[in-house]
Amino acid sequence: MDATARLQDTEQRTADLADRVATLQAEQARLRADLDRDSAEMAPMLPLAARLARYPADTLLAAPLPPDRAITGLLVVRGLSARLERQAGAIRVRRAELARLDDDLTREGARLADLRRQQAAQRDTVARAAERARADQRRSSSVATQAARQVEDAARQASSLQDAVARIEALEQAAEDRLERAAQEAARAHRTDEAAAAHARAQAIAQGPGPGLTAPPAGMPAGRGAPVPGTVITAWGNATEAGPATGITYAPPAGAAVRAPCAGQVDFAGPFRSYGQMAILDCGRHYRFVLAGLGALAVSTGQTLAKGAPVGRMPDWAGQGGRPTLFVQLRHGDAAVDPAPFL
């Protein structure tokens, strides 16, 4: 979990620095274009300026002129000299700015390369830890695995994200009801221990595999526990083509790590409809986080996760086509609720 948090921090710093480098490169290109333009404007006047500097008298007296024309010529030459001096000063300033930008780009480029090497090493560490966790889950009890597969199959057959969560809730409720009926039958038959055990299992299902979610105190900033680095492009309730947004959409860096926003269990992990790779996390007390749009998953159905554990990573993105996004939805029972206060 700590490794994933460090990776997420490195990814955010890498993305911020990459944006700064891109800004510096754009400013560098603009300054170079300005220099080229100013140099092109001065070029036709440079031979005359050089001749005036070397042979002022010969240049001005090259052709006999009436006094008024000669005075006009002198004024033009003075204005030309002043203009050339201003343009030369502007070019000197731009060249100094360009030299400073070149130094900044060299320094920031080296920092960016170091961060990317650090990021690659951290991604390897997180991937190995995630694979060990998946292997441990695969060695878990077959009964738990079978139950998890039933939940996963129900979600796969769903027609929509809402339907997927509703089917999971229905399976959960059916299991709880069966156990409660078994507890009542055992109690009527005076099998006290059996009744208590069945009731306890029913309560465990109602409680869920996680501690549930608690909103922070009023006034505490939300969003610091985002499951992925990047920027929010659609907040809860924003207008979309399908109506008010029922979750939060992030634009993360390419290949960014995605972390579990709660402790609990994976109800579903796999491709789903048009959402790409998706994970549904049961946080307990009927709270579920849906994370959709991942490029690769690091978890399996039925796996138990700590808060902040790796769930997967975003697709690699080279700036071509649509930028991958992560859709984060929080559901309490069948209803979507604003996830921001819980992140």
Give yes or no: residues 152 and 285 share one domain. Answer: yes
CA–CA–CA angle 141, 138, 325 (5° rounding): 125
Task: Label residue 51 by pLDDT band (50, 70, 90).
Answer: low
pLDDT value of position 22 = 85
- Report the alpha-carbon distance of residue 217 to residue 226 in Å, rounded: 17
Give yes or no: residues 323 and 193 share one domain. Answer: yes
pLDDT value of position 30 = 85
pLDDT value of position 326 = 96
- Convert 178-188 to b/e letters by CB count within 10 Å (16 or more is b): ebbebbeebee
- Report whether pLDDT(256) > 90: yes
Which comes out higher in pLDDT, residue 319 or 35? 35
Give yes or no: residues 215 and 297 share one domain. Answer: yes
Predicted TM-score (pTM) of this structure:
0.74
AA identity, residue 54: R
From 138, 172, 200, the end of a domain falls on 138
Residues 216-235 have a mean pLDDT of 76
pLDDT value of position 141 = 53
Neighbours of 228 (CB within 10 A): 26
Give yes or no: residues 209 and 121 share one domain. Answer: no
- Report whether pLDDT(258) > 90: yes
Task: Label residue 39 by pLDDT band (50, 70, 90).
Answer: confident
- Tokens linked to 328: 């984060």
pLDDT value of position 313 = 94
Give yes or no: residues 134 and 267 share one domain. Answer: no
- Report whether pLDDT(49) > 70: no
Give yes or no: residues 186 and 308 share one domain. Answer: yes
- Report whether pLDDT(220) > 60: no
- How many folded domains does the chain comprise? 2
Residues 215-221 have a mean pLDDT of 61
From 97, 113, 138, the end of a domain falls on 138
Structural domain of 213: 144-342
Give yes or no: residues 310 and 238 share one domain. Answer: yes
Which comes out higher in pLDDT, residue 294 or 155? 294
Give yes or no: residues 122 and 219 share one domain. Answer: no
Give yes or no: residues 181 and 311 share one domain. Answer: yes
The phi, psi pair for 290, rounded to 5°, reads -110, 125
- Report whether pLDDT(312) > 80: yes
Task: Label residue 295 by pLDDT band (50, 70, 90).
Answer: very high
pLDDT value of position 210 = 83
CA distances from 54 to 51, 72, 186 (A): 5, 21, 115
Under 8 Å between Cβ of 233 and 214: no
Which of the residue ranges 36-45, 153-162, 213-222 has the most confident prediction, judged by mean pLDDT?
153-162
Which comes out higher in pLDDT, residue 299 or 59? 299
Residue-wise DSSP of 164-204: HHHHHHHHHHHHHHHHHHHHHHHHHTT-HHHHHHHHHHHHH
Percent of the chain with pLDDT over 70: 80
Residues 103-120 have a mean pLDDT of 89
Task: Label residue 73 by pLDDT band (50, 70, 90).
Answer: low
- Report whether pLDDT(27) > 60: yes
Give yes or no: residues 206 and 78 share one domain. Answer: no
Q: Each residue of 158-190: pLDDT tens digit?
A: 888 889 999 988 888 888 899 899 999 999 998
Give yes or no: residues 208 and 314 share one domain. Answer: yes
Domain CATH number, residue 227: 2.70.70.10
Task: Label residue 92 by pLDDT band (50, 70, 90).
Answer: confident
Give yes or no: residues 193 and 335 share one domain. Answer: yes
- Report the alpha-carbon distance of residue 158 to residue 156 in Å, rounded: 5
Tell me the average pLDDT of the chain: 82
Which of the residue ranges 145-149, 153-157, 164-168, 317-321 has the most confident prediction, judged by mean pLDDT?
164-168
Task: Label residue 126 by pLDDT band (50, 70, 90).
Answer: confident
pLDDT value of position 152 = 82
From 96, 112, 138, the end of a domain falls on 138
